[in-house]
Chain A
Amino acid sequence: MDRARLRMYARAWTATTVGHTIPLLAASALLLALSPLTFPVVAILLAHAWAIPELYANRGAKVVKPRRPAADGPERTALGLLGDLVGHEARELHARTGLVMERGALGTWLVGEAGALLVRPGGRRVHCWCVHPVSPPATRREPGLPSADRIAHLLLALREDETGFATVANHAFAGARWRVRRRLDARMRPALDAAARQRG
């Protein structure tokens, strides 16, 4: 994964959105021109034109959706270690939003429990990645890890090799920041805003 491939992914997602939306909008305009009585069908087409990009953005935002927490003791222990790994600003942001902000060469990352958001330089476009720690040596998900530990696993992997991290992770969505922000849990939105300001 590199900048050129990220740009290609972004263009592909833009083309996908346009490809889904424009035909529906064009058909709506055509139907209205032919007969205003087709308004109910036009309304359905417009609803689809709006909903399809929203569903894609929702798929992207879901990668950082919080998982079920572990017991209090392990969560506290894991939180202590995560706190040691990040600076004051990132620690405070994590306490408020559940996401850890990390600057990288590709942009500013927001690392969650089972995925990460990458805010590209300029702050307008966000890439969403689905990735999680697995039990060695198998590749099954590890359900028992505390929330902060899940984030620490991903954060360390990201710090070791940013492009490798983005290569291993599944690319779930790329699109406008405002579109992803709208689908994010309200608690997490300030983290996206803060990440955009880093490169803004």
Chain B
Amino acid sequence: MARLIRMDNTGHTTVAEWTSADPEAVEAAAAALRAELDAGYYAVVTQGEGRAEQVSELPADAELVILRRPIAGG
């Protein structure tokens, strides 16, 4: 089961879960991702140690998509 999680004050919250074999779950997860992106979060897919890619649409084949906040200096 793939997960979309948001890092927040609770540690993290699971926003959506899906399997690529379930189109309705994928669509629901994609909609949830869009809503989080609209709220200002960034979606990141880790690609092994030391690498990560920012995505703007749900990669249905990813195991884990993490929503992180923007960063700022100072």
Which A residues form the contact surface with B (CB < 8 A)? 70, 73-81, 85-87, 102-103, 129-137, 139, 142, 144-146, 148-149, 152-154, 156-157, 159-161, 165, 168-170
Contact = CB atoms under 8 A, between A and B. Distances in A.
Interface of B: 5, 7-12, 39-42, 44, 46, 49-54, 66, 68-74
Given A74-B10, A103-B50, A157-B68, A136 B41 contact: yes
7 cross-chain pairs, A with B, having the tightest CB-CB distances, nearest first = A136-B40, A77-B11, A170-B73, A159-B52, A137-B40, A144-B9, A78-B11
A93 B30 CA distance: 36
B69 A81 contact: no
B10 A156 contact: no
Contacts of B39: 136-137
Nearest to A152: B7
Contacts of A70: 9
Contacts of B74: 130-132, 170
Nearest to B47: A159
Contact of A134 (B8, B10, B72): B72
B50 A159 contact: yes
Given A87-B49, A160-B53, A75 B72 contact: no
Contacts, number: 102
A169 B53 CA distance: 19
19 contacts: A73-B10, A73-B11, A74-B11, A76-B11, A78-B7, A102-B50, A130-B73, A133-B68, A133-B71, A136-B39, A137-B39, A139-B72, A152-B7, A156-B46, A157-B71, A159-B46, A160-B42, A160-B54, A168-B72
Given A75-B11, A149-B11, A132 B71 contact: yes
A154 B46 CA distance: 13
A77 to B, nearest CB: 2
A133 B70 contact: yes
Contact of A85 (B42, B46, B69): B46
B36 to A, nearest CB: 9
Given A81-B12, A148-B11, 10 more contacts: A75-B11, A78-B11, A79-B11, A86-B49, A133-B70, A139-B72, A153-B68, A168-B71, A168-B72, A168-B73
